[in-house]
Amino acid sequence: MNASEPIHGDDILAGFPRRLLSWCRWAATAPLCRTLLARSGELDQEALDASLAELVRRHPSLTGGSACAAPADTGVSTKPKQPVVPLTVHRLDRSSDDRRDQDLDRLLDTLSKAQFDLERGPLLRADVIRWGDGQSLLLLSAHAVAADADSMDVLAGELAERYAVLSGEARDDTGPHDHPRDLPTAIPAAVTLEPVDAVDSGAALTALPGPTDIPYDDPPVPDPTYTTSTIILRLSDEQTHALRAAAERASTTLQVLLRAAFAVLVHRWSRDADVIIGTAVRPGPPEGADPVGPYVDDAFVRVKLDGDPIMRELVEQLHRSTEAANTRDYAPFAAALQHLRGAGEEDAVWPFTVRAVHRIASGARQDESTFVPVLGGHEAGASPHPLNLETVEEIGGGLVGHLRYGTDRLRSDTAGRLATQLEVLLTSLPGRLHERISRLPLMSEPERQRVLQDWNRTAVTLPSDQTVTGLFAEQVRVRPDSTAVLFRAEAVTYRELDLRARAVARRLSDMGVRPGAFVGVHARRSIDAVAALLGVLMVGAAYVPLDPDYPAERLAFVMEDCGLDALLTQHDVVLPVHSTVPAVYLEDCRPVGGADDWWPPAGTCAPVSAAYVIYTSGSTGRPKGTVVPHQAVVRLVIGANYAILQPSEVILHQSSLSFDASVLELWGPLLNGATMAIAPHGDGSMQTTVEAIRRHQVTVALLISPQFHLLVDDRVADLRSVRQLLVGGDVVSAEHTRRAVTALPDTRISNVYGPTETTLFATHFPVTNPQDSAHTVPIGRPISNTECYILDKWGEPVPVGTTGEIYVGGLGVAHGYLRRPGLTAQRFVPDPFSGRSGSRLYRTGDLGMYLSDGSIEFFGRADEQVKVRGYRVELGEIETAVNQYAGVGRSCVLAVDEGHTKRLVAFFVPIGGADDALAPALRRHLTDILPAYMIPDQFISLPDLPRTANDKVDREALLHHVVMFDRPAWGKSVVTNPCTPTEAAVLGIWREALESTAKLNVTDKFFEAGGNSLRMFQLFWRLSEIYPGLLELAELFELNTVRSQAAVIDERTSGRVGSADSSQ
């Protein structure tokens, strides 16, 4: 091609423009480049129309036509007829002064959605905005396949010149040529990349990480629009000069410094330490070519931020990457995409989600033109990248940043926070290049104070005697004849409960139990058990709950680990085997006759004395005991802001004593003069709980999430007496919460959160409106006398909208783990924020994010700990137990999301090869050593565990095995189909209860098919609806197959028919 010939559309559309064009067709949208100009005085519209037409005539890329319309390159170029440039007038001169800027922002966002007819053209449009006082704004927008941002500066200069001539404001000094040679050409790119040799780059490119995992606000939409909105940042000349000077001190360019700052922002926001940032390179038009066109190509830079580097080191890393054009860190887009995404996919896929572009504005100064730039050439409109930053060095010396975000999945408040954080970071950067990136501020001082102090102002005054025994004694004194406990048909007053507790305390004292001792309470929920706990505390000891349903091996470990001084138990439970601890039966401690004259000695316990030790799952295979003091219990139930705990309330006690939910259920009523309603020990189902709620008209209840979901699904009417419903223990379903709020208008429902180590609750979120839980239910804000902080991995507070680890402080923090100083030091760390001497924070290991109102949204675990039916489970402890079985070589346990709950799946490699027959024996082995909630729901035998490139177990690959297995691994290869209509009906009910589409046998056992006690309760309810009165819940544990249940239903149905016939 002759250099003097104009270049038409087909010739321009190569590489990036053709790829972008293909994406535009695929996404049915248009990315733009545009510029905003200002003019004082009247606007000659005829001259403006003619000037715009002249731009299209001069620059063939703006005409559209066959170059853009043909999907395939035919090799034939045609010059379409020059169309008229659309020009629209908008009125903002009627807007009030205080709203005009906001109205302009909204209008610019609306105009960024402009579409173009690629076939008919033109690919340029104009919008005049009447501003008032004789001022007008002119927005020039071009399709990105026709002109890049630098080209828009060229067009702005040409337009100003031609308008001045055509309106009579200046003489026409240009010659008769299409491309005025005296106009500035495009600014050379700061980085020009040479092509990467495919052979040399392949290995490097395939080692690149995937796209940065952006913490989106909203889930993916089925039909994305790729629409963007823009937030504009402006740095003053002084601030920009300081950044340039800092770049010079670091021996780099402003572009590299800005890119490094953006990488830090993305890293701190996404927690990704290996970030891929897209960018653009522009070598400029070829010699003699039209200066207007899409002369850019995509590229990307890899930024490694692991190890918390010093900012200057990060800048140097980026500077080297920018200079080394053919390294693995920086590569042309087409070559990289082929390696990352496969050949043939370049048209529709980009391997990065964040993009940063820097350019230097070109054009006339304000005193040299009829139109002056307000916003120089910049990108707008649709984008395949959810987050874009374009920085432009203005002619006047300042810096403008365009933070463009995809509105399909990111919200305006999130983008606004990111813009503010970037501005804070850039403003502080010149003086902090020698600091580590974790220390660079993203928050202003007012925002930092808000997250650290304002949102943690939770202090309330507690009684001077902050002990459980002291506050209980006060209730006995104030209301001795009020009902303290209801259990079945029995009711005891505060005076009577005090007598029974002192009788237990006397027995313990006679046995030599002294303050600071540990006493095991091996009992089921009952009045005796409540008296036992009070009696232990009265002698200054701490109680250690021992659930009689736990395996003997686990109970033996707990008893040995804490070194029990005494054991309180009941006649109807089996004592732990080989126990040498002195035992007392609670039935034998009941007072006989009048008042007991034994009184607790003064000073037996203090607020910091241990009240109880609860054992939870341990990652090393050893359960760990959390030691909780009296003041932590008092902080939980006195002055509570998550519920009103007053004497008129009836508070449900339905949890095992070994489950920390019992702390609220026990001491919430007894330290506030209320009534405790005990649900009798049952079969693990909800039946006894529902019956206790109805029988005692419970007004306050704490349900774990799976219980809540189950009751909302099937028995929500049973909760109508409950005025205050607390839900926690695991993630709460937003759908069920909305339904509950609607079905229970007189009930206050709150989502509560907190680990055992912070005494049950740390935060609460009252749901007052169904829309409060539109997508997720936040865990809320701190409860009374509690502080919550969200910190990054370096211990720095994160801004609103950024994910970090939740740390909890305040009076609820436990002493630590019994006899585990190393683990205690690891999880209980010094508190640098409260200013209280000696205070500590508990590292929860949970991820959270501040919402704009200070509420916290929960994002799961940072490690392998999970919640199952409200219990905290370390998957490593289950794996240790599985590996102890003689026939197992290796194992891995996953918690698989299933609806609104989790299902434990154990993958194991038998010694000698895969063997499904081993699963039943392995289940029995685990039943002997682990609590029921830790027994996997499914066992899958594999010849080996899949591994990652780093030789770690590939957990993602294991999940595919869960999907592939349409039957539990222990099952038979031949399905036994239903033989009777009843069997067919019952099998359908099983599938509903198990939420399963698996091929179930009528001879499969319920628990081995993935059932648990809650699902059994659901099964019972649904069977009762269809076959009322034919089955008892307790029977289902023996009648645990479809066939056996159907047989009993048929037998009893026949019996009823026979009885009816004989009575007639």
pLDDT of residue 475: 97
Judged by average pLDDT, the poorest of 204-213, 575-584, 695-704 is 204-213
Flag whether pLDDT at 531 surpasses 70: yes
Higher pLDDT, 83 or 481: 481
Paired tokens of 378: 């910049």
Q: What is the rounded distance in angstroms from the CA atom of residue 557 to the CA atom of residue 823? A: 18
519 and 583 share one domain: yes
| Section 327-340 average pLDDT | 48
**Cβ atoms within 10 Å of 391's Cβ, excluding its own:** 26
241 and 120 share one domain: no
pLDDT of residue 903: 77
Flag whether pLDDT at 341 surpasses 50: no
Residue 754 in domain: no
Last residue of a domain, one of 932, 964, 996: 964
404 and 517 share one domain: no
Residue located via tokens 């810096």? 399
| Section 894-911 average pLDDT | 79
Flag whether pLDDT at 52 surpasses 70: yes
68 and 104 share one domain: yes
Judged by average pLDDT, the poorest of 258-267, 701-710, 718-727, 1053-1062 is 1053-1062
Task: Assess contact for 297 and 239: CB atoms under 8 A.
Answer: no
Residue 911 in domain: yes
433 and 515 share one domain: no
988 and 945 share one domain: no
Q: 618 falls in which pLDDT band (50, 70, 90)? A: confident
Q: 775-829 pLDDT, tens per residue?
A: 789 999 999 999 999 999 889 999 998 889 999 999 999 999 999 999 999 999 9
22 and 102 share one domain: yes
pTM of the model: 0.76
Higher pLDDT, 982 or 26: 982
Higher pLDDT, 912 or 495: 495
Q: 883 falls in which pLDDT band (50, 70, 90)? A: confident
Task: Assess contact for 433 and 245: CB atoms under 8 A.
Answer: no
144 and 47 share one domain: yes
Across the chain, mean pLDDT equals 83
300 and 418 share one domain: yes
Q: In what order do the strands lie in the sheet with 518-522?
A: 583-585, 566-569, 518-522, 542-545, 610-616, 624-629, 816-817
Higher pLDDT, 79 or 471: 471
Q: 634 falls in which pLDDT band (50, 70, 90)? A: very high
User: Structurally, how many domains does the chain consist of?
Assistant: 5
pLDDT of residue 880: 79
Residue 717 in domain: no
Q: 190-206 pLDDT, tens per residue?
A: 223 333 332 233 444 44
pLDDT of residue 312: 96
Q: 729-741 pLDDT, tens per residue?
A: 888 888 889 999 9
Judged by average pLDDT, the poorest of 673-677, 778-782, 844-848, 1008-1012 is 1008-1012
Flag whether pLDDT at 1057 surpasses 60: no
| Section 850-868 average pLDDT | 83
Residue 392's beta-bridge partner residues?
A: 359, 400
| Section 227-244 average pLDDT | 94
CATH of the domain at 503: 3.40.50.12780
Q: 620 falls in which pLDDT band (50, 70, 90)? A: low
Q: What is the rounded distance in angstroms from the CA atom of residue 522 to the CA atom of residue 544? A: 9
Judged by average pLDDT, the poorest of 126-135, 290-299, 311-320, 597-606 is 597-606
Residue 626's beta-bridge partner residues?
A: 614, 817
919 and 1034 share one domain: no
Higher pLDDT, 300 or 366: 300
Q: 347 falls in which pLDDT band (50, 70, 90)? A: very low
How far, CA to CA in Å, does 871 sit from each of 419, 679, 754, 993?
40, 19, 12, 21
pLDDT of residue 1013: 65
Q: Which helix (H) or strand (E) holds 274?
A: strand 274-281
Q: What is the rounded distance in angstroms from the CA atom of residue 938 to the CA atom of residue 953? A: 19
CATH of the domain at 337: 3.30.559.30
617 and 527 share one domain: yes
pLDDT of residue 336: 53
Q: Which helix (H) or strand (E) holds 87?
A: strand 87-91
327 and 437 share one domain: yes
How far separated are the first and last CA of the chain, in Å rounded?
Answer: 107
- Give the closest residue to 349 by CA, choosing from 212, 219, 201, 211: 211
Task: Assess contact for 113 and 381: CB atoms under 8 A.
Answer: yes
Residue 970 in domain: no
| Section 423-445 average pLDDT | 94
Query: Domain limits at 613?
Result: 464-587+604-629+661-675
pLDDT of residue 294: 87
